[in-house]
Structure 1
Amino acid sequence: MVDLISNLPDEILGKILSLVPTKVAASTSVLSKRWRNLLGLIDSLCFDESEEATSGSHRFFDFVDKTFALLSESPIIKKLSLSHIPTSGRDDDNSRVSRWIWTALERGLSELHLHATPRCHGVYLSRELFTSNTLVKLTLSGEYALEVNRVFLPALKSISLLSTWLDGPNYGRLLDGCPVLEDLLITETHRWALPCCASFVESASLRRLVITVKLSDTQDTTVFLKAPSLVLLDYSGYVTNVYDFVDLDMLVEAKLNLMLWDSSVYDEHHDDDYYDDGRPEGISADITRLVAGISNITTLHLSPESLELFHLCCESIPVFNNLLTLSIESDKAHGWQAMPLLLESCPNLHTLVIKGLVHRVTNRCGDACPCSPEEHKNKKRRTVKDEEESCCLSTCHVKVLEISEYGGSFQELKQMRHFLGKLECLETVKVCVDADENNNNREVLQANLLSLPRLSSKCNIMFI
């Protein structure tokens, strides 16, 4: 068999070896004399100690040392990915790690990804000045953190901080030292992680921000966000008492996955009565300033719990004059209490996207929903005439309605009848039937939907 790969130029083989884990690339040196010295041509290094048979041994560190020695004459290292397991009492290993990183930075490194498996032994990048004119992407994960007095990374555009040990001062210096930063990803999911990164973000250049905080004991934390160039905000976390979102005039799209730290509140206050007297007892969280801060957006995505918290924890919903697309998810545990007011607050809404029509039925689902539980005592049923006059859908200008995970239940069919009979500007309805439905049942579901009366003569139902 003709070995066509070995006949390729050295530069091409070097690019190929840069695409595989460095340990695999190094193993090719035993293939033949042709491959013996090709390791020195790779410009992307990936080291993962977890792949070693005996993790934590010096074998991994010795291999990395030898690899860098072979690359001593290589002019460029574009990418370095390092994942290892720090061990107490091995200061020499930590100094070797730092030496690898600084060596790569001196070779024009553009991507640096660092992960240390949590074992209560932090790995700090300590240096008076953390600087690089070529670094574009940085990831710190696990026990990695910076401990520097100054940071200057004029080319850095992307930072990912994944449950690191980064404290407030070093985190602040990192953001301040990145004048062209565009993408920031922050996750804080471990209790030993410091929640400072997700609670304070200020950057003049930032365009995309993704925050995920799964720490339920941070309910008293103040979340501050100031990013005048921000275009996309994806925020997931437990609600807190204070939000300060300012200078977000450029924001176009927001994705919210908000959670209440005490889920029992939903069981205690699932009916109507407590809504007439303001916020339920036991709920101190307030997302009013968060919602007001994103009121200029054109696209809004809400998780099931976020939609309900718009009602539970928001003193007032602002007018979303620019909102064109509203996308919500729905489930059996959460209601649509905020839907009527939210739809009324979106005068220019064009597209309504709903993932799952089934939701928790409450007296406050209002006229966005035809479902209602048994009336409470001392409350009169609204007449059909009153319902028609007050229905929020009657004044809604939605032209496109997209429904996914449609199962065709009685509640879902009733909801679709309500939408089609109230939305007078509706032109296109796109329905995606639940993947679990068989073909025969799909035909029945489609036939039932097509038979529903439509207020809009332009309404066309499509199945996707």
Structure 2
Amino acid sequence: MRKKNQPKIEDLLSALPDEILRYILSFLPTKFAFTTSVLSKRWNSICYSLTALHFDDKAEEDEETYTRFRRFVDNVLLSPRFQHHPIETLSIVSHSELSRNRCRFNTDEWIEAAKRRSVKNLQLSTVCSQLCLLPGIFTSSQTLVVLKLTGIVMDHGVGSVDLPSLRTLHLNHVLFDQRDDVMKILNGCPIVEDLTVLTPSFECPIVTGGFKTLPNLPKVVKAHINAFDVPFNAIPNVEFLQIEDMERRCPDVYIESYYREKPVFRNLINLKLSFVCFPGWVGVMEVLPYCPKLQTLDIEKLVYWHNYQEKWAHTKELVPECVSLHLTTCSIGNYQIKGMYDDFDFTAYILQNARVLQVLTLHINRHSDESEKDRFFKRLSRCSRISPACKIECIFVP
């Protein structure tokens, strides 16, 4: 009870308009946002009309708590009282093995409810398990702009795909029925601008009879792909490109040519090539002529091929346009300062031919022999540079 002379405390938070309260609550995990409903009946209706919903089952450790979590999500997404309220963002993160069982985890129903409520941003991911979905997630949504799937199992293929408004598509560690499913998805997303397709797996990875249609994604500006996830020809206008497992080759000649035929990336300004087993600088030099406007080149190498043999004849007559006219930043990971590897030769080649180079960054193992380091730095200091503004940064890493 308030004392006689105690000033009255004004509830400024509850005085805010519904729109502002809804915006504030949208930054909380949805479960926590709903706990505010104990403050007022008004807050209960605000919670049910939130436009950003984030569900995470990490804290549900047993059958009982997991069942309560599932019922809570059902209540929020499937309540008939609020089906007219639009949803901007729906994010579901699953840690529980119980999510594998569709009868326990009503993901397909939740997705359909979100689509009926004009969802724009849909994100589904699993951390410790794989979440099974039906093909409906890709079926006809006029409002979906962002779709991100991680650790998902697509039951019964992907069906028909119709996502005409989708601009961001991220598929990470998704299990498909067959390799052609990825092509179907890409063909159903004609205006995608931000594309990530990494480490998909397939129940039937063999291609029989060839791919039916080649995707054409002229709007893609940013792409992060594995070597055999998305055909290079499908993203001719990309500006920022990262390719994982660049050294991989496919024994099937048809598949190899389908994915690895290189168009001229006339808009590409930023390229990162990641190698698990680096085969040598010949492979890098084969790519550069197809990137005439390239400004930033980042090479990541995990280990060197055990039978590494460098046969690259680096001459001034073979300088690609991007190196001589546009390259401003170059970074090399797992840089080798001794041995049979020709990292120094590539470094010298870049320094001697990149006219507008600003920064060359070398990531060197900090445990390298001190005498080898001294010899390397003396040799590097004697190397000529065609760009007067170029700086060399050597970063020692574990």
How would you bin the TM-score normalised by the shorter chain?
A: 0.7 to 0.9
Is this contact kept in 2: 1:319–1:345, CA < 8 A? no
Is this contact kept in 2: 1:153–1:178, CA < 8 A? yes
What's the counterpart of residue 387 of structure 1?
none
Q: Is 1:31–2:39 an aligned residue pair? A: yes
Q: Is 1:343–2:374 an aligned residue pair? A: no
Is this contact kept in 1: 2:366–2:397, CA < 8 A? no
**d(CA) in 1 for partners of 2:49, 2:206:** 41
What is the Cα deviation at residue 109 of structure 1? 0.8
Q: Is 1:328–2:331 an aligned residue pair? A: yes
What is the Cα deviation at residue 348 of structure 1? 3.7
Distance 1:163 1:418, change over 3 A: same
Is this contact kept in 2: 1:304–1:328, CA < 8 A? no
**d(CA) in 1 for partners of 2:322, 2:36:** 57
Is this contact kept in 2: 1:117–1:142, CA < 8 A? yes
One-letter amino acid of the structure 2 residue matched with residue 148 of structure 1: V
Is this contact kept in 2: 1:320–1:346, CA < 8 A? no
What's the counterpart of residue 269 of structure 2?
252
Distance 1:433 1:222, change over 3 A: closer
Secondary structure of 2:231's counterpart equals: strand
Match of 2:66 among 57, 65, 68: 57
What is the Cα deviation at residue 357 of structure 1? 6.2
What's the counterpart of residue 219 of structure 2?
205
What's the counterpart of residue 11 of structure 1?
19
What's the counterpart of residue 156 of structure 1?
166
What is the Cα deviation at residue 174 of structure 1? 0.9
Q: Is 1:165–2:175 an aligned residue pair? A: yes
Unaligned residue ranges in structure 1 (runs of 5+): 214-220, 267-274, 280-285, 362-370, 374-408, 437-464
What's the counterpart of residue 182 of structure 1?
193
What is the Cα deviation at residue 349 of structure 1? 4.1
What's the counterpart of residue 235 of structure 1?
243
Secondary structure of 1:178's counterpart equals: coil
CA-to-aligned-CA distance 1:224-250 (integer Å, 9 cap, x gap):
311121111112225123532224222
Distance 1:430 1:342, change over 3 A: closer
State the superposition RMSD in angstroms.
Answer: 4.3
CA-to-aligned-CA distance 1:326-362 (integer Å, 9 cap, x gap):
412354646415416742894544324223467999x
**d(CA) in 2 for partners of 1:67, 1:145:** 25
One-letter amino acid of the structure 2 residue matched with residue 10 of structure 1: D
What is the Cα deviation at residue 153 of structure 1? 1.0
> TM-score if structure 1 supplies the norm length?
0.64
CA-to-aligned-CA distance 1:106-155 (integer Å, 9 cap, x gap):
21111000123454x65123249711111111011112437332111111
Larger RCO (CA within 8 A; separation ≥ 6): 2
Is this contact kept in 2: 1:117–1:143, CA < 8 A? no
> TM-score if structure 2 supplies the norm length?
0.74
Distance 1:162 1:76, change over 3 A: same
Is this contact kept in 2: 1:105–1:132, CA < 8 A? yes
Match of 1:303 among 300, 305, 326: 300
Is this contact kept in 1: 2:187–2:215, CA < 8 A? no
Distance 1:312 1:133, change over 3 A: farther
Unaligned residue ranges in structure 2 (runs of 5+): 1-8, 208-213, 250-255
One-letter amino acid of the structure 1 residue matched with residue 266 of structure 2: D
**Equivalences, count:** 357
What's the counterpart of residue 225 of structure 1?
232
**d(CA) in 1 for partners of 2:204, 2:30:** 30
5 Å matches for 1:107-146?
107-117=117-127, 119=129, 123-127=132-136, 130-145=139-154
Match of 2:385 among 411, 414, 423: 423
**d(CA) in 2 for partners of 1:16, 1:123:** 32
Distance 1:110 1:194, change over 3 A: farther
5 Å matches for 1:41-120?
41-54=49-62, 57-68=66-77, 69=79, 72-84=82-94, 85=96, 87=98, 90-93=101-104, 96-117=106-127, 119=129
One-letter amino acid of the structure 2 residue matched with residue 7 of structure 1: A
**d(CA) in 2 for partners of 1:240, 1:314:** 19
Secondary structure of 2:104's counterpart equals: helix
Identity of aligned residues (%): 22
What is the Cα deviation at residue 53 of structure 1? 3.9
Distance 1:32 1:70, change over 3 A: farther
Is this contact kept in 2: 1:212–1:235, CA < 8 A? yes
CA-to-aligned-CA distance 1:258-286 (integer Å, 9 cap, x gap):
1218xxx99xxxxxxxx9xxx9xxxxxx6
